[in-house]
Amino acid sequence: MDVLDAQLVPAVDGVAYGLLLFVVAAGLSLAFGTAGVLNLAHGTLYAVGAYVGAELSDGTWGGLAIGLVAGTAAACAAGAVLAAATAPLTRRGHLDQALLTFGLSLIGGNLLIDLFGADERPVRIPAQLDTSVSLLGHRYPAYRLCFIAMAVVLAAVGTWVLTRTRAGAAVRAAADDPQMLAASGISPRLVHTGMLAAAGALAGAAGVLGAPIIGPGPGTAENVLMLSLVVIVLGGLRSLWATLAAAIGVGEVQTLGVSVAPDWAPYLLFAAMAAVLVLRSRAGVLAAPGGHGADGGEPPKDPAAWLRRRVTAVVARGRSAAVRAPGPAARAARRAAPLGALLAVLVALPWFADAYSLSLAGYALALGLLAVSVTVLTGYAGLPTLGQTAPFAVGAYTTALMADAGWTVGPVQAIAAAAAAAVFSALTGPAVIRTRGTTVLMVTLAVGELTGTAIGQWKSVTGGTDGLAGFPLSRPLWGSGELLEEGDLYLYALVVAGCAVALTLLLLRSTAGKLLTGTRGAEERMQASGHPVSRYLLLAHIGAGALAGVGGALMVTVQQYVSPADVGFEIAALALLAAVIGGTTSVVGAMLGAGLIVYTRDWVAGSWPGHGPLLLGALFVAAVYLLPRGLAGLARRPPDHGEQRGAAAERVAPPEKARAEQGVTS
C-alpha cells in the first residue's frame, strides 16, 4: 500500500506529461494523416513555443498570457511556412517532404540557438501556480494540475473542431482524396496550409504551457519529436482515443517508470514499444493513412520546378545522344561505364588526396553502405526507412567491442558486425514489414531513435554519450600489421565496401531483385501467384541490416571511435538523403550521394563556424527541391509530371491503391 501511495505523485505527473505529449502528437498525427506530411520539424514547432513562452513569461499572469499568445502565433506562423514549403512537393511522395521538413528543422533549431542561446532556459510561472496543493495527503505542484486542465481543454477543442465542424470534415476529406475535395470546390492547398498552421499552433501552445515540464533547450525539439512519434506508433493513426491512451502510457513510463524502476527506465519505453508492435503485428496492420497518390492531377505551381528544369535541361543536352538508342550492349556499357570510372577514381584517390580527405572518403564509404541499405529497402522493397542507423549502430558497437576484446582482424569484425546487425534486423523486421508506405518511415524512425537512446544510456557497455575509443586498430588480414596510415585504411575500406556493394548488386540484378520489385509494385498479385511476400520483405530487411552493419564496422575501423551521435537521427536523415540523391533505386547513386554529402557537410561546417546545422539544413532543402529524382534523375530524361503512368492510362487508381507511388520516387 505504501508503495502505491508513494507513486501517486509521479503517476499524476505522468498524466500531465502524457497530456502534453497527446497535444503535440495529435498535431503531428493530423499533419501526417491528413496533409500527408511526416513533419520532422514538429518538435521544432514545440521548441518555438517553449522558447517564446519562456522569454515572455515573467512570473505574472499577464506574462503567461502574452507568452501563450505570442508563442502560439509564432509556432502557427512557422507551421504556415512549413505548409508553403511542402505544398509544391505534394505530388512527390512523402520521402521528399520528410527530408525537407528535417532540413527546415535543422535550420530552425540553429536559428533558435542564435536567438535564445545554447543553454537550457529557466521558465517562470505565475506565483499563484508556483506552489503546491494537497492531493490525497501528498503535496503536489499546482501548475501540473492546472496544466492537466488546460491540456484537456486544448485536446477537447481540437477534437471537436476535427470531428464536428465543416473545416474538420474538409481536413479529413483531404486525407482521403484531395482531388475530389478540389472537385467539390474547396482548395486542398488552403486546407493543407490551415492544417499545418493549426498543428503548429497546437504544438506552440503546448510548448508555452508545457515549458515547465519539457523546457526549452537545444535537445528539446528532437526529444519531443521522438516521444510524439513513439506515441503515434503506439496509438496508431486515425483514432484519437488510442493516441490519448498511448500518450498517457508513454507519460507514465517516463515518470512513474523512472520512479519505480530507475535502473530499467531507459529501456522501458523501448520495451513497451517493442511489445506493442509485436502484439499489433499479430493482431493486424497499423492503420496506414489514405494514400496521397495525387495521380494525373494538375501539376501544382512549383517555383523549384522551373529551376530544376533548367538544371536538368543543361545536363540532358549533353546526354541526349546516348539516351536515344539503348541497344542491349550499349545499355550494358552505359550502365557499367560510370561504375568503372568511379572505381578508377576511387582506387587512384590515395595517390593525390591528402590524409584528411582520405579519412573523409573512408567515412563516406561507410555512410555509403548505410545509404545503400536504405536504397535496398526504400527503392527495391518499397519500405522507406529512417531506422537503418539501428543495425548500423549494432555493427559499429559490435566492431568496437570486438576490437576492445582483442579481435582485431578487420574482415572478421565486418562479418561479425553483419551477423549481429542481421540478427537485430530479424528481430525488428516483423514490426517493420507489417506496415507499408510512409508508416514505415515512422515505425523505423521510432526504432532507430529508441536504439540510439538505449545506446546512450547503456553506459557500462557502450560508454554512454562519451562513446568508445582507444581500442586496438584493425588489421586487414591475420598476421598483417595494423592499419595505421590513412591511405591503407582507406584502401581497406574501399575493398570491403566494394565487396559489399558488388554482392548487393549481384543479388539485386538476380531473381531476388525482380521478386522485390514485384513485391513493391504488385504485392497482391505476387501473393496470389504463390509468392511468400512477407518472407521476401523480411529477408530484404535482414540483408539490408547486415549491409548497414558492415557500414557500421567500416565507420569504426576508419574513425577508431564511436558515439551515439555517429548513429543518431541526423545520420539516419543523411543516409536517406544520400539514397534520395542517388535516385532511390540506384546502388551506385547512393554511394555517390553519400560521398557528396560527407564532403559538402565537411566543407559547410568549416565555412561558417557555429552554423553547420543551418547550412546542412539548407543542403537538405536544396537537394529536395533541385534533385527530385536524384543524381540518377539528371542522367535520365528531363523529369515529367505524372510518374510512370501508362501511355493510355485512362484509369486513375483510387487513392488507396496508389501505394506504389508513396515514398518511392522511382
Q: Which is closer to other proteins, CB of 96 or CB of 523?
A: 523
DSSP H or E stretch at residue 140 = strand 138-141
Main-chain dihedrals φ then ψ at residue 325, nearest 5 degrees: -110, 90
User: Residue length, the chain?
Assistant: 666
Shortest reach from residue 185's CB to other proteins, in Å? 4
Q: Which is closer to other proteins, CB of 180 or CB of 461?
A: 180
Residue 642 binds to other proteins (criterion: CB under 8 A): yes
Shortest reach from residue 90's CB to other proteins, in Å? 13
DSSP H or E stretch at residue 421 = helix 410-433
Residue 124 binds to other proteins (criterion: CB under 8 A): no
CA quadruple 85, 111, 390, 245: dihedral positive or negative? negative
Q: What residues from 257 to 296 belong to the interface with other proteins (CB under 8 A)?
A: 290, 296
Report how far residue 493's alpha carbon sits from residue 359's, in angstroms, rounded to the nearest whole number.
Answer: 10
Q: Which of 220, 435, 560, 666: binder of other proteins (CB under 8 A)?
A: 666
Q: What residues from 318 to 347 belong to the interface with other proteins (CB under 8 A)?
A: none
Stretch that binds other proteins, among 19-27, 127-135, 568-576, 642-650 (CB under 8 A): 642-650
Task: Output helix, strand, coil percentages for the chain, rounded to the nearest 5.
Answer: 75, 0, 25
Question: Of the candidates 488, 373, 482, which has an alpha carbon nearest to the alpha carbon of residue 432?
Answer: 373
Shortest reach from residue 300's CB to other proteins, in Å? 9
Pairing outcome for strands 561-562 and 468-469: antiparallel
Number of residues forming the site for other proteins (CB under 8 A): 64
333 CB-near residues (< 8 Å, 6+ apart)? none
Shortest reach from residue 427's CB to other proteins, in Å? 22
Stretch that binds other proteins, among 220-228, 254-262, 611-619, 634-642 (CB under 8 A): 634-642
CA quadruple 91, 93, 96, 99: dihedral positive or negative? positive
Conformational region of residue 310, where left means phi above 0, alpha means psi within -120 to 50, and beta covers everything else: alpha
Q: Which of 224, 367, 377, 515: binder of other proteins (CB under 8 A)?
A: 515
Residue 518 binds to other proteins (criterion: CB under 8 A): yes
Residue 525 binds to other proteins (criterion: CB under 8 A): yes
Question: Of the candidates 33, 13, 34, 47, which has an alpha carbon nearest to the alpha carbon of residue 203?
Answer: 47
Shortest reach from residue 364's CB to other proteins, in Å? 29
Residue 62 binds to other proteins (criterion: CB under 8 A): no
Q: Which is closer to other proteins, CB of 66 or CB of 653?
A: 653
Question: Of the candidates 394, 388, 377, 378, which has an alpha carbon nearest to the alpha carbon of residue 538?
Answer: 377
Contact (Cβ atoms closer than 8 angstroms) between residue 131 and residue 61: no
Which neighbouring-strand residues pair with 132?
141
Contact (Cβ atoms closer than 8 angstroms) between residue 593 and residue 582: yes
Distance, C-alpha 84 to centroid of its chain:
21
Shortest reach from residue 524's CB to other proteins, in Å? 6
Shortest reach from residue 32's CB to other proteins, in Å? 15
Q: Which is closer to other proteins, CB of 163 or CB of 607?
A: 163
Residue 532 binds to other proteins (criterion: CB under 8 A): yes
Shortest reach from residue 546's CB to other proteins, in Å? 22
Q: Which of 239, 465, 529, 607: binder of other proteins (CB under 8 A)?
A: 529
Question: Of the candidates 647, 648, 649, 630, which has an alpha carbon nearest to the alpha carbon of residue 639?
Answer: 630
Report how far residue 420's alpha carbon sits from residue 422's, in angstroms, rounded to the nearest whole number.
Answer: 5
DSSP H or E stretch at residue 133 = strand 132-135
Conformational region of residue 185, where left means phi above 0, alpha means psi within -120 to 50, and beta covers everything else: left
What is the Cβ-side half-sphere exposure of residue 131, based on CA atoms within 13 angstroms?
6
Shortest reach from residue 312's CB to other proteins, in Å? 14
Shortest reach from residue 540's CB to other proteins, in Å? 16
Q: Which is closer to other proteins, CB of 115 or CB of 285?
A: 285
Stretch that binds other proteins, among 89-97, 192-200, 628-636, 654-662 (CB under 8 A): 654-662
Q: Which is closer to other proteins, CB of 186 or CB of 573?
A: 186
Q: What residues from 162 to 181 belong to the interface with other proteins (CB under 8 A)?
A: 166, 169-170, 172-173, 175-177, 179-181
Distance, C-alpha 647 to centroid of its chain:
35
Amino acid at 343: L
Distances from the Cα of 193 to the Cα of 83, 159, 253, 265, angstroms: 5, 19, 34, 39
Q: Which is closer to other proteins, CB of 162 or CB of 493?
A: 162
In 27-96, beta strands by DSSP E: none
Shortest reach from residue 169's CB to other proteins, in Å? 4
Shortest reach from residue 289's CB to other proteins, in Å? 10
Contact (Cβ atoms closer than 8 angstroms) between residue 367 and residue 597: yes
DSSP H or E stretch at residue 627 = none
Residue owning grid cell 496543493: 133
Q: What residues from 236 to 255 belong to the interface with other proteins (CB under 8 A)?
A: 238
Q: Which is closer to other proteins, CB of 319 or CB of 531?
A: 531
Q: Which is closer to other proteins, CB of 498 or CB of 638?
A: 638
Residue 652 binds to other proteins (criterion: CB under 8 A): yes
| Residue 283: all three cell numbers together | 493482431
Q: What is the DSSP letter of 475?
A: B
Q: Give the per-residue contact string, 183-202, with other proteins (x = CB under 8 A; - = no).
A: xxxxxxx-------------
Q: Which is closer to other proteins, CB of 174 or CB of 250?
A: 174
Q: Give the per-residue contact string, 587-626, with other proteins (x = CB under 8 A; - = no).
A: ----------------------------------------
Q: What residues from 71 to 100 belong to the interface with other proteins (CB under 8 A)?
A: none
Stretch that binds other proteins, among 358-366, 400-408, 531-539, 565-573 (CB under 8 A): 531-539
Report how far residue 295's alpha carbon sits from residue 306's, in angstroms, rounded to the nearest whole number.
Answer: 20
Q: Which of 510, 565, 603, 607: binder of other proteins (CB under 8 A)?
A: 510
Contact residues for other proteins (CB under 8 A)?
Answer: 166, 169-170, 172-173, 175-177, 179-189, 238, 290, 296-299, 510-511, 514-515, 517-518, 521-533, 640-657, 660, 666
